[in-house]
Amino acid sequence: MGAQKSIHAGKAKIDVNVDLTHKLCTSLMLLPPIPIRDGGSPLSLVIGSLCIKHPNLFGGSEKLDVSWDKGLYDSTVLVAYRRPRPEWLPQQCFVLQHSVSPEIGVHGTPVDNFSRSGSGGVNLSRLSLGVDLNEPASSNWTSTTSIKFEHVNILSDDGRSITRDMEGFPVTCSGSTHDSMVVLKQESRYAKATNDSFSRFSMQIEQGIPVLSKWLIFNKFKFVATKGLKLGPAFLVASLTGGSIVGDMAPYQAFAVGGLGSVRGYGEGAVGSGRSCLVANSELTLPLTETLNGALFLDCGSDLGSGRLVPGNPALRQGKPGSGTGFGYGLRYKSPIGHLQIDYAMNSFKQKTVFFGISNLGL
C-alpha cells in the first residue's frame, strides 16, 4: 500500500510519498537476509520516498528537484537543477546524486541451485556530480549526453571501507577503497507504436576520461532492442540486450546476468558476470478477464565466456555457470492503483522459483 500527499507553500510544491511496495515484494520473493546497518535501528526499516520540487527557484522558471528514495538495503539522494532554455537548444540539468546499495549482481553468492543470490558483503557508495544535456526530439528519436565526475567507495555490510572481498580479492580497479572517474555518456532512444505493435531501441556509450593518471579509462556500451506484436487476442514481446566493456575495469562494473529483468528462475547475477553479455527475453500474454492476463515466458542469457576477464574472476569463484535458461508462466493483474505480476519460473538446474512484482502502487 502507499500514500501520496502534495503540500503547496507559496510557489513551492512538496510531494511526500510513502510506499511499502518494496518491502512487500522483498518478503514475498523470500530473498535471503542481508545484514541491516545502523544496528537494526527503526530508521533502517523505513521504506519510502520523499520528493521536494520548486518550479521557480530564482524567479526565472528554474526548477529544483530534491528526492530521497530508501529501500530495505539501499538508498538514493538526488538533487537536480534545471534552467530554462529555448526549445531548439539542448535542455540542461545539473545533477548531484549519492547512492548506497549492495553489490549482489557481481559479488552475491548464488544459493538453492542458483535460484537466489545472497549478500557477498560488498556494498557500493557512489557519489556523482555533473550535467545532463537532453537534445531536442527528432522524429521518433531522443538523445541525452552527460558528463559526470564519479567517486565510488566500497563498504562492508557494517559500513567500513574495504579494499578486498571476503576471499581477499580486490574490489576496486585502483586497489584502494575507492575509484574515481570522469564519464562521458551518450544515450540514444527510439520508440514507435501503433495499435498492433511497438518497437523500442536504446544504445548507451560511456567513455572514461583520464583527467588524472589514476582515474579509470574505459569504453562501455549497452543496447536494448524490444519488439511487441499483437497475435490475435494474444500479445508477444521479445527483447535482446547486450553490452561490452574494454579498458580499465572494476569488478562492480561487470554485466550481471540473471534475475528479474534478465533471466528469470535465477537470482540476481546468478547466471554470470562478465565483461560482455547477451540476454534474450520473450513473453506471450493472453487475456483471461478484463483486468487479468496469463503469460508464458522464456529467457536466455550468457556472459559470452567473458567472466574470466573480470578482475578477480568472481563468477568462477562463486561457481556461476556463465549461461542459463529460465522459463515458466505467470499472471498479470491490472488495477487503477497498481499492477501485480506473479511469475513461476524454472531454471536450467530444474530449480523452481516464484517471483512477485508490484508497480505503480499508490493511493
CA distance 284 to 295: 6
- Whole-model pTM? 0.86
- Residue 113: exposed, middle, or buried by beta-carbon count in 10 A (0-12, 13-18, 19+)? middle
| Residue 59 banded pLDDT, cuts 50, 70, 90 | confident
pLDDT in tens, 118-145: 889 999 999 999 999 998 877 889 999 9
**Residue among 43, 2, 40 nearest 24 (CA):** 2
pLDDT attached to residue 37: 47
Residues 6+ apart with CB under 8 A from 82: 62, 63, 64, 65, 91, 92, 93, 94
Element (DSSP H or E) covering residue 132: strand 123-134
pLDDT in tens, 64-114: 999 998 887 889 999 999 998 888 888 999 999 999 999 999 999 999 899
Residues 6+ apart with CB under 8 A from 10: none
Question: Cα separations (Å) of 295 from 108, 228, 291?
Answer: 29, 14, 13
